[in-house]
Structures are given as C-alpha cells and as structure tokens.
Structure 1
Amino acid sequence: MILYYLLLFSSAFLAATILPFYSEVVLFALLRDGGDPIVLVSIATLGNTLGAVVNWLLGWYLLHFQDRRWFYFKPAQIERAQRWFQRYGFWTLLLAWMPVGGDALTLIACIMKVRLWLFLLLVGTGKALRYISVVYLTAWAPV
C-alpha cells in the first residue's frame, strides 16, 4: 500500500508543477480499490500543495532578475500589481487547483509577495476541496 501512497503523492506533486499530470485519475483508481478516502485525500493534498510551493519558489527566483534590462515588467508595474494582488487577488489562490491557469497563479503569488503561510492556507484549502469532490464523484460513479 505504501507504493500506492507514493504513487499518489508523486502524481499530485507533479500535477501542481508546470508538467501536465493528472493526479485525480490515480486518486480515483485508489478509491475504487477500497483505499481510505481520508488518507488518500490527505496524501494527495499534501503532494499537490508542496508541488505548488515549487512554483511559488520559482516566482521568488524570478524576482532576482527584476533589475535586468531584459526583464519584461518595470518596477512600477510590479509594485502596482503587488498592491492590487495583496488587496484583491490573493483569494484567487483558492482556484489554484484549476487545470488551466492554476499553476500560473501559484507562480505569480510569490512575485506578488503573497506570504508563504497565506499561500499554503489558501492553496491547500482549494486543493483539498478538489480532492474531496473527487471522493464524492467516485461514490456516484457506476462500478
């Protein structure tokens, strides 16, 4: 069973990075095989949230290049976007689970100076809710 947990964690971790991976399929299969939903959701959420932290760190790394001439955004643009994101945009991290755009949100979050504790709280909550919905959809799926 440990191997299945590692497979789920790995697929969830990779799915949160910019790589095209779908951990819901693995979760669905393990649930259909009788896996404990609480344990499986916990493992998938942890893996997926930690994968999103990789994107957050990449955003932090990109900020080191903001003084370079080739860097796309000007400092004034970054400051304005950071103020807006801090005021309105951090709630969008609840949508970081989305297959399209979710990875970009997690990358932009660090550029927009979202604190890691807030990032973990919002991203983890959104991703946990997604995996919980997979549990409920699995229960309704025909055998």
Structure 2
Amino acid sequence: MLAIIVNYWLGFWLYEKTKNKLSSSKTGTKSLEYGHKHGYFILLFTWLPVIGDPLTLVAGVLRLKFVWFLIVAGSLRIARYYFLTLVV
C-alpha cells in the first residue's frame, strides 16, 4: 500500500521529470496513453503485477484526486494480496 502512495506522490511532485521518464519507456508510454484516454478507469488495473506500478505513477502525473486513487487502487491492492493468501 505504501508503494502505491509513494508512486502517486512521485508522479505528482516530480511531474516533468516523471512524465519524461515515462515517455521514454514502452510500458510508461502505454500507461500515459491509457491514462489520458480513460482517466480514473485505469485505476482498475493497478492490481496487475507488471503494469500496476506505472499506472500508479501515471495517476500522480495526471493529477487524479488522491482520495479516489487511494480508495480504488488501495482496495484493489489489498484484495490482490488477500486473494494470494487464500490461494497459497
């Protein structure tokens, strides 16, 4: 949970540097495209292992509201780890 909060605030505070860094990678570019196109809808995919972390960074870059970010992304992260504990 702390990781998604840190990613969000890094994207929010370091807007230009983060946007340039995301634009230079393939996953980051796709994340930015999806973020601009779908907005809050991208938060539904933050539970995914590979693409979830760049999406939390993109949420900060796009300046999505932190409360909604925390509710959606945080609850999905908790659900992901809860499900993993049930499986294992």
**TM-based fold match above 0.5:** yes
1:95 and 2:45 aligned: yes
Number of aligned residue pairs: 76
Unaligned runs of 5+ in 2: 24-31
Offset at 1:51?
A: 1.4
Match of residue 29 from structure 2 = none
Contact (CA 8 Å) 2:7, 2:57: kept in 1 or not?
Answer: yes
Q: Does 1:130 align with 2:75?
A: no
> Would you identify which runs of 4 or more consecutive aligned residues in structure 1 move more than 2 Å?
84-89
Find the aligned partners of 1:59 and 1:89 in 2 and give their Cα distance: 15
Alpha-carbon RMSD across the aligned residues, in angstroms, is 2.5
Q: Is the 1:91–1:122 Cα contact (8 Å) retained in structure 2?
A: no
Distance in 1 (CA, whole Å) between partners of 2:74 and 2:67 is 10
Structure 1 gaps, min length 5:
1-48, 74-80, 139-143
Identity of aligned residues (%): 30
The corresponding residue for 1:54 is 6
Q: Relative to total residues, which structure has the larger helix share, 1 or 2?
A: 2
Higher RCO (Cα < 8 Å, 6 or more apart):
2
Give the Å deviation of 1:91.
2.2
Q: Which has the larger Rg? A: 1
CA contact (8 A) 1:86 1:114 kept: no
